Chains A and B, each alone.
Chain A
């Protein structure tokens, strides 16, 4: 029997017939991706509403009595956790990862579709557990998204009755879901590419999502372990993280534990988590810039190695979140050094994005606007990261609004801009219809300028020393009156941005029914997902035969070519000259 390479074996696909197996208990990666995406966006909207409530309190402390101080803490916690994990991680990896990986590498589906389906349903369970904490005694936990012990499980913190337990349980369940999905994404990229698709021919989106997934598989274990240990501390009375504490005049039952241990475990997860969110954004934005500038990505190999390098480095920088925790100063030196080294691959990426635009044939489509907007916000947030990476600069700025501004710029606004750009970019492929251009442009400008109006002033608040996580700032002497005016302005901008998103949702829903037919490749894109025989792609993606790849994903404006792009599956010929990749 002739040897059949393992990758040539046709996978056994499920062939669903009823509505339920097609769209609900579906094993098709595209349906799962959309389920993931819609769920993530739905919880994201909840987190957005929470942030508006908090901003109303901060901007106009005397005019609204919508929330109590306890609720403020609870909303801070839920807003942070939802945005970072249940929205961005789930949307980039579960949503875009699921949709794009098989299409971009030319596979029919993920390698284990059933596991993939299970991943979504377990994710949904974790979301339900998280949302349930709003309705239990004491409400959700108010420990802050970092959940630092001892206060996270000490009486006096809101939500200590049940909220914290549900939060930890939900995180554990999320990690199970992520592992099932993540194993699929990694294995699909490594083992199930189509003929001719080498790793160095993959679009950068796949590289970003792939590396982020690897980071997730190695970083989430630390969160799982800390969640288990803290659950034991809370429910069984163990003292892993709990030192001897006198609380309300009484010695607590805890003794001899180490709160710093939690911080190490948490940030060993937490810092890679930043890049789990950022790397897919890096990858996707590279593809958007290249496609809409009709120019190959500048320095493809460097871009790949920068992604991999950032991923590797992200595991040895975690303690830069802990400069004020009371570590050995030599640790601070080490972690400051590694942190600043990350600026090198990151700068490579930024320069390459800009050089991709250089002399490009730039089409200012909506995805392109969001991609360029991302470069601005990311450089901005990245530069403040260099401030905070230095121990001596970090100490006075730690726990002020400067930190809030920094991480919202770099891992809030920037990835969200890419999410919007990516949704606009792939919307024609997912639905077969075009979005409304004018609404899209309006949405971009209002969101982009609005977010700057929110976060730029926060840097000044930070310099003034305005502390984060405070319910109100009355009677604090060193904060001038004018800081309150700035806070009010930020709140107005925040509400403006929140309502702007209605334009986005209206556009998406309206275009789903009334949008122009988009055709199979409206952007003239080279990568494989635009070369599917059907739009939107049907179950199995490729019809009878898998595509064959002959070139990299960035053959734009090749001299001598017929069109200004050559799809990856076009064989070399006179009209499609071979490029050196």
Chain B
């Protein structure tokens, strides 16, 4: 990308005048491929979806007539005799953030046209994602066993279960789609599709999606589990 940018005579100014130049240019407003621009716009739209979910959840939480259950107790696990609050969520968060690391490395190796390492790193990212979804399934089944349902739970306000299943479910769906998406990209990288095109931008586009899903989790973690 750097060589391309340097040889492009249009890219001269920096800072605000650079932005103005890009936007008043012919043909395109951003010096990026179509797919990447589209992914950014989609993620902006998706941001609004998650914002609405979280704002709605916060409004509901502040307006319940019955007290909200204490998340650090609900999500505590007893491991080897020790009662640790939020331990599973902490592991899940750690795994998801690590997966962003492997994804970023995959993008880097992609631009170096290192086919095998890129494919391996994307596959690793997908595996991290899969383990995240697996742990979420464990978390769900544990709560369901304890009697938490979308319409009610023994710990307190019924909206706790409703918001929990809805928001983590919607996020989990994003992760699952991401796992499938990354597996396809990993397969295509391994098969050499992008070597033929001499263009690994699809890896970066998938990376954008994955980082977004990761970032959203940070907000869910903060607003749902830590509040």
B-binding residues in A (CB < 8 A): 2-3, 5-8, 111-112, 179, 182-184, 186-187, 190-200, 217-222, 224-226, 228-229, 232, 236-240, 244, 253, 255-258, 261, 264-265, 268, 549
Give chain A's interface secondary structure class: helix
- In the complex the two chains form, is A179's CB within 8 Å of B45's CB? yes
B29 at the interface (CB under 8 A from A): yes
24 contacts between A and B (CB under 8 A): A3-B4, A3-B8, A5-B10, A5-B27, A112-B34, A183-B45, A191-B27, A192-B28, A193-B26, A194-B26, A198-B24, A199-B23, A200-B24, A217-B44, A221-B48, A224-B49, A225-B49, A237-B150, A238-B150, A238-B151, A238-B159, A239-B162, A244-B65, A268-B52
Q: Which of these, B42, B63, B170, contacts A183 with CB under 8 Å?
A: B42
* Nearest CB on A from B216, distance (A): 13
- In the complex the two chains form, is B45's CB within 8 Å of A256's CB? no
- The interface size of chain B toward A, counting residues with CB under 8 Å, comes to 46
* Nearest CB on B from A287, distance (A): 21
Tell me the total A-B contact number using a CB cutoff of 8 A.
146
Residues of the B chain whose Cβ atoms lie less than 8 Å from the Cβ of A228 = 166, 170
- In the complex the two chains form, is A190's CB within 8 Å of B151's CB? no
B66 at the interface (CB under 8 A from A): yes
Given contacts A5-B27, A186-B41, contact A240 B4 (CB under 8 A): no
- In the complex the two chains form, is B159's CB within 8 Å of A240's CB? yes
Give chain B's interface secondary structure class: helix
- In the complex the two chains form, is A218's CB within 8 Å of B150's CB? no
Residues of the B chain whose Cβ atoms lie less than 8 Å from the Cβ of A187 = 34, 37-38, 41
Closest to B51 in A: A221
Q: Which of these, A183, A240, A268, contacts B162 with CB under 8 Å?
A: A240
CA distance A198 to B150 in the complex (A): 52
- In the complex the two chains form, is B41's CB within 8 Å of A197's CB? no
- In the complex the two chains form, is A218's CB within 8 Å of B24's CB? no
Q: Which of these, A5, A179, A238, contacts B8 with CB under 8 Å?
A: A5
Closest 3 CB pairs of A and B: A7-B27, A237-B151, A238-B162
Interface residue stretch chosen among B53-61, B81-89, B92-100, B181-189 = B53-61
- In the complex the two chains form, is B53's CB within 8 Å of A225's CB? yes
CA distance A217 to B163 in the complex (A): 24
- In the complex the two chains form, is A225's CB within 8 Å of B44's CB? no
Residues of the A chain whose Cβ atoms lie less than 8 Å from the Cβ of B51 = 221
Given contacts A111-B34, A221-B45, A240-B56, contact A197 B63 (CB under 8 A): no
- In the complex the two chains form, is A253's CB within 8 Å of B26's CB? no
- In the complex the two chains form, is B27's CB within 8 Å of A256's CB? no
Residues of the B chain whose Cβ atoms lie less than 8 Å from the Cβ of A257 = 60, 63, 159
- In the complex the two chains form, is B26's CB within 8 Å of A196's CB? yes
Residues of the B chain whose Cβ atoms lie less than 8 Å from the Cβ of A229 = 56, 166
Residues of the A chain whose Cβ atoms lie less than 8 Å from the Cβ of B33 = 6
Residues of the A chain whose Cβ atoms lie less than 8 Å from the Cβ of B66 = 255-256
B158 at the interface (CB under 8 A from A): yes
Residues of the B chain whose Cβ atoms lie less than 8 Å from the Cβ of A549 = 26
* Nearest CB on B from A184, distance (A): 8
- In the complex the two chains form, is B166's CB within 8 Å of A183's CB? no
